[in-house]
Amino acid sequence: MKSTLFVGFLFVFLIFSIALPVPAPAQTSGSAPSSAAPAGVTLTDIVECGEGYTSHDLYDMKIALLEVIRGEEAWKRIREASAANKPAASGSEFVLARIRFEYKARELPGLCVHLLLPEQFMAYSSDGEDYTPASVVPPKPELRKELKSGESFEGWLAFMVAQQDKAPLMSYSAGTGGAVQHGGNKWFILR
């Protein structure tokens, strides 16, 4: 009797297990293009720093897209930043992004310097195509600095996107432009 009851419970359990949909795991905000974070949200991650096959030091990073300026206002600020800047190509417009970046070692001594570069940031269309980097001088301060543990920095980036693209994306990767750093792959919506 007990074994028949057990088999019955097992059968009912299996039926419900198969019939109930399994929810897809939720993506963390900013971890992928489909979950890109809006302006004002601070994302956190880990950056590894080290050489070769030795153990790498871990650093906590925080990154926030503080402000997005697009179109005529962006062009006005870019023109003021340098008279050598040229207007956006036909059908395109500039997007300015003000970023705050924080960097802190998890353990002492925390001697690895993080070279924060504009090249670590890329713009993509809402369809996933990468945009050619804007060849302009952005407003001051440009997002370019050697950060030591415990430091933070705010600066501007400039992108050129299609005028009809209402939700372009921006990605950050610590490994771009740096020889020994990895991590920090984050996504934001440029609007």
> Could you tell me the residue ranges of all domains in the chain?
39-189
Is pLDDT at 120 greater than 90 in this prediction? yes
- Among the listed ranges 77-86, 148-157, 177-186, which one has the minimum average pLDDT value? 177-186
In the structure encoding, which two tokens stand for residue 41, read together? 């949200």
Higher per-residue confidence, 43 vs 1: 43
**52 pLDDT band (50/70/90 cuts)?**
low
Residue 26 pLDDT grade (very low, low, confident, very high; cuts 50, 70, 90): low
CA separation for the pair 118, 75 (Å, rounded): 18
pLDDT tens digits along 138-179: 999 999 999 999 999 999 999 999 999 999 999 999 876 554
Indicate the CATH number for domain 39-189. Answer: 2.60.40.1240
